[in-house]
Amino acid sequence: MTKANQDLTIVLNHPAAESYASLIEERFPTVRTIVAADASDLEKNIGDADAVLAFRFPVEVFDKAKKLRWFQCTGAGVDSLYPIRDKVGHITVTNARGIHGEIIADFVMAGVTMLHWDFRRFLQEQERREWQPRYVAPLGDRTLGVIGLGSIGATIARRAKSAGMTVVGSKRDISQPVDGVDRLFAADAFDEFLPLCDFVVLALPSTPDTIGVIGASHFEKMKRSAFLVNIARGNVLVESELVAALQEKTIAGALLDVFEKEPLPSNSPLWGMPNVIATPHVAGSPTNYTERVFSILAENIENYLNGRPLKNVVDLSRGY
C-alpha cells in the first residue's frame, strides 16, 4: 500500500462472519462489510470486494474478484492460494501469525509429556483397576527436534528448552542462532538431525516444496524409541508411510493434530492405533479466536486506509 484508501469493502467469508462484521462496524463505521458465509453469497458479492477475510482463499471465485487487493487469512497457513499464486501478484496477502505459537506450544508440550509417560497405558490400567508402578526418565534427559523454526516452531523450541530438554532445530537459514535451540541443522541434513531426537516436531509450512517432504526414509533414520509430533499440515508427510512406520514399530508413536484429509476418515487406521494420539486440528485454536484475529485485522484496516504497509504480509514465493 502506497497511498491512502478512502473506501474499503471487506467480504467476510467465514463461519464467524457476523462477529467480524460487528467488530469492524463498531471500530470502523466507514468500512463496508459484506457477510458472505456461504458459497452463493460469496459468488454474488465477491466482485465488490477490495478485501476478503477468510480461513481459506476462495480460489473458485477468484476470476470474479476484479477489485480485490488484499486477502486477510484468519489462520497462519495460506496454502489454499498456491493453485493460483502466479495470478495474485497484485494482491497483498496477510495472515494471523503471532496468535498461535503459545497455544500450540502448550499442546506440543502436553502431548510430549503424555507420550513420554505413556499416559494411554496409565488410563487403560486405571480402567482395569491395575496398580503398575514404573520408572520414567525426566524430560530433561531427552532431546526434542523441531523441523521449521518460524514463529510457531521457535516458540515450541523455547518452551521445550524451559522444560530442560536438549533442543535441536532444522531450518533453511542456519546463519543466525535461534533462542532455545542448542544446535541448528540445515534443512537437508536429516541424516545427522533425526538420529539425535527422541521427539521430532513438524512445524514447517505447507508449500509446494514441503508437500510429502517427510516419509519412510526419514522414519528409518529416527530412533525406534522416538515419537513424531505433527502440528504443521497433514500433507507435509506421506501419511501411508507414517502408518506403516507405526504399524511396524519403526518409530514408537505419534501425536497428530493434522492429516492429509480432514476430517480424518472413519476408516483410517490411525484412529485405532495404541501408539497414536489423534486430535481434530485444534492445536492452534485459542479461546476468543475471533477477537485475537481482529486485533491483527484492525491494525491492517487502519494501515490500509492510511496507505501504510500491512502487518503479517506473506511472501507467497516462500509460503510464509
Q: Please measure the distance between the N-terminal and C-terminal CA atoms of the chain and give it in whole angstroms.
A: 19
Bridge pairing between strands 70-73 and 51-54: parallel
Q: pLDDT class for 319, splitting at 50, 70, 90?
A: confident
Per-residue model confidence (pLDDT) at position 312: 97
pLDDT of 1 above 50? no
Tens of pLDDT along 158-174? 999 999 999 999 999 99
pLDDT of 19 above 90? yes
Amino acid (one-letter) located at 60: E
Helix 17-27 vs helix 289-305: angle between axes, to the nearest 10 degrees?
50
Does CATH place domain 101-278 in 3.40.50.720? yes
Per-residue model confidence (pLDDT) at position 3: 57
Q: In the annotation, is 183 catalytic?
A: no
Per-residue model confidence (pLDDT) at position 317: 84
Which residues have CB under 8 Å from 198's CB, separation 6+? 142, 143, 144, 223, 225, 226, 227
Class of domain 9-98+287-305: alpha beta
Rounded mean pLDDT of 44-65? 97
- Where in 166-308 does DSSP place strands (E)? 166-171, 183-186, 199-202, 227-230, 253-256, 276-278
Bridge pairing between strands 253-256 and 227-230: parallel
Question: Which of the residues 85, 100, 233, 260 is marked catalytic?
Answer: 233
Tens of pLDDT along 258-306? 999 999 999 999 999 999 999 999 999 999 999 999 999 999 999 999 9
Tens of pLDDT along 224-252? 999 999 999 999 999 999 999 999 999 99
d(CA 233, CA 262): 10
Q: DSSP 3-state assignment of 272? A: helix
Q: In the annotation, is 220 catalytic?
A: no
Instruction: Tell me if domain 9-98+287-305 and domain 101-278 are identical in fold.
Output: yes
pLDDT of 98 above 70? yes
Bridge pairing between strands 9-13 and 143-147: unpaired
pLDDT of 81 above 60? yes
> Percent of the chain at pLDDT above 90?
97
d(CA 119, CA 121): 5
Question: Which of the residues 56, 69, 281, 308 is marked catalytic?
Answer: 281
To the nearest whole number, what is the mean pLDDT of the chain?
Answer: 96
pLDDT of 51 above 80? yes
pLDDT of 4 above 70? no
Q: In the annotation, is 262 catalytic?
A: yes
Full DSSP string of 89-110:
TTSEEE--TTSSHHHHHHHHHH
Rounded mean pLDDT of 190-200? 98
Q: pLDDT class for 113, splitting at 50, 70, 90?
A: very high
Question: Which of the residues 220, 262, 291, 318 is marked catalytic?
Answer: 262
Q: What is the pTM of this model?
A: 0.94
